[in-house]
Amino acid sequence: MPDVRNWTIIGRGDERICYQHPDDPGRCIKLSRREKAKQTRRELRYFRYLQRRRVPFTLIPEFFGVVEDAGFVGIEQQLVLDDQGNLPPNVAEYLAKPLTPKQKSQFWAGLGALKAYLLAYNVVPCDLVMSNLLVIERSGATTIMLIDGLGSSEFIPLPDYIPWLGRRKIRRKWVRFMEKMVEPRFMSTQERQL
């Protein structure tokens, strides 16, 4: 394993540190200590499962493999960047700035596309929060990608394998996400129909 810990840190969570690959700025490694790698192990299993099912990695980061050494385990995946090569804002950061009507409309369309993607491919989020969703603005559309918190957290993750259970869980988490996180920021009656 390359000495990832000397790479540029681009994110930090409770369990993992995310490093940008120095030779390929479009890739990153999320690294955990082996003794604190529960989330990493769950996501590794889930990414491999999604690959076997041939789920397109269009609204979640592409998975490239596992990185391991004696003390660490990590996930190498796509680093989601905007068209200028910068880290896009997460949903909380995006909603904190003043938005034009066009930006609002494209944001809601992007959220709708993400929800449709999750349901169509039974991609089950375990942690649907604003910091795990990045907003990429383009001239004609806004894309929202789920970059972290994938796969059921249950001991036996039936929603991952049984589509109707997965869709039920996705819908439940989506409603909670919208009610607790997005709707309080701003939302008209018309937008609540998403």
Q: Which of the listed residues 78, 100, 130 is the one where a domain comes to its end?
A: 78
* 178 in a structural domain: yes
How far apart, in whole angstroms, are the C-alpha atoms of residue 169 and residue 159? Answer: 7
Domain extent, residue 54, equals 4-78
Question: Do residues 77 and 27 lie in contact, with contact meaning Cβ atoms separated by under 8 Å?
Answer: yes
Q: Specify the pLDDT at position 189.
A: 39
**Looking only at Cα atoms, what is the longest distance across the chain?**
54
Task: Flag whether the pTM goes above 0.85.
Answer: yes
How far apart, in whole angstroms, are the C-alpha atoms of residue 79 and residue 85? Answer: 10
Q: Which of the listed residues 46, 78, 110 is the one where a domain comes to its end?
A: 78
Give yes or no: residues 97 and 182 share one domain.
yes
Query: What digits encode the pLDDT tens for the residues 23-39?
Result: 898 999 999 998 888 88
Query: Average pLDDT of the chain?
Result: 88
Question: Do residues 31 and 12 lie in contact, with contact meaning Cβ atoms separated by under 8 Å?
Answer: no
* 97 in a structural domain: yes
Give yes or no: residues 178 and 115 share one domain.
yes
Q: What is the domain count for the chain?
A: 2
Answer yes or no: is pLDDT of 140 > 70: yes
How far apart, in whole angstroms, are the C-alpha atoms of residue 83 and residue 170? Answer: 29
How far apart, in whole angstroms, are the C-alpha atoms of residue 90 and residue 111? Answer: 12
Query: What digits encode the pLDDT tens for the residues 80-119?
Result: 999 898 999 999 999 999 999 999 999 999 999 999 999 9
Q: Which of the listed residues 78, 108, 124 is the one where a domain comes to its end?
A: 78
Give yes or no: residues 108 and 164 share one domain.
yes
Q: Specify the pLDDT at position 39.
A: 87
Question: Do residues 40 and 74 lie in contact, with contact meaning Cβ atoms separated by under 8 Å?
Answer: yes
Query: What digits encode the pLDDT tens for the residues 47-77?
Result: 999 999 999 999 999 999 999 888 899 999 9
Answer yes or no: is pLDDT of 125 > 90: yes
Give yes or no: residues 65 and 153 share one domain.
no
* 84 in a structural domain: no
